Amino acid sequence: MTEVSRPHERPRRLRATPALRRLVAQTRLHPAELVLPMFVRDGITAPQPIGSMPGVLQHTPRSLVEAAREAVDAGIGGIMVFGVPRDEDKDPVGSCGLSADGVLNRALGSLRDALGDDTVLMSDLCLDEFTDHGHCGVLDDHGRVDNDATLEVYARMAVAQAAAGAHVVGPSGMMDGQVRVVREALDGAGHQDTSVLAYTAKYASACYGPFREAVASTLTGDRATYQQDPANRTESLRELRLDLAEGADMVMVKPALPYLDVLSDVAAATDVPVAAYQVSGEYAMIEAAAAQGWLDRDRMVLETLTSIRRAGARAVLTYYAVHAARLLEG
């Protein structure tokens, strides 16, 4: 009988028991690293389910506060709020997003009053929810997004959100120069302590489809002229350099799973906190596969979130934030 050569090294020894695996784990997931995106819709009297995102709701102003309290009690690190105005309140320049009486700014005020500094209150700083054309900026006479005219609106929007109570504003429109304009506007209005989370690498992804339902988007066409091309990797580092020079306190990669290589690049190139957004399409894919019995939903949730952390994210925006926090707490 042939003698079998014995291995000189045995990596399996460190996988032998759950306790050993916990001891040597290189990446740990904690509820405080998770941020819950939430939607508040004007003109509804009860929370509305979002068909393409099972379990996610468009909240009323009241139910938003209740759900936010529940999320904070679960130990998550923050919430990111998106406003959904009534159709009749949308216009070409997104005026509803600037008004103190607009759905988003009212919600931010209610959340800050209810939660104070118990969580990190983030606000989406973009026009797509508030414009009747659905683009992230103001359009010129030819129907193209006017970068510099949009910046003027972003500056006013940032101040309105900070005044309403946001700890962090997230300019997500991918306009050139947006971080500088937002930072200067905040400082000029006395909001020096309000942080800027730059959507540094936001790709023109197919993964945003369910989100468009969630915010009742009226977009026609696409956003390829301002969001990044999925074929490109290194331009994210150019965007990173610019955002840091303009005053970003944190930076983000969006979506997360299809762009883990970009996330790793960005995390390696900066010493500010890096976030990643597990977007609506990523959520919907897990939910659809789990509904068919094709995978273990809870294991997949924790595995995907761990992979995003492993790639370099310090914080993860995910619709699973509360569910994952409960899984992690046993």
Which residues are catalytically annotated?
Answer: 202, 254
Q: How far apart are CA 244 and CA 163, in angstroms?
A: 24
Residue corresponding to tokens 């996988």: 15
Residue corresponding to tokens 């506060």: 65
What is the SS3 assignment for 59-126? ECHHHHHHHHHHHHHCCCCEEEEEEECCHHHCECCCHHHCCCCCHHHHHHHHHHHHHCCCCEEEEEEC
Q: How far apart are CA 123 and CA 20, in angstroms?
A: 41
Q: How far apart are CA 159 and CA 194, in angstroms?
A: 10
Measured at the CA of 156, the angle between CA 64 and CA 34, to 5 degrees, comes to 40
Element (H, E) at 235: helix 235-246
Q: How far apart are CA 111 and CA 103, in angstroms?
A: 12
Element (H, E) at 41: strand 34-41
Residue 303's DSSP bridge partners are none
Residue among 33, 34, 38, 120 nearest 81 (CA): 38
Residue 229 CB partners (closer than 8 Å, separation 6+): 203, 204, 235
Residue 251's DSSP bridge partners are 198, 274
Side chain identity, residue 141: D
Measured at the CA of 329, the angle between CA 324 and CA 330, to 5 degrees, comes to 100
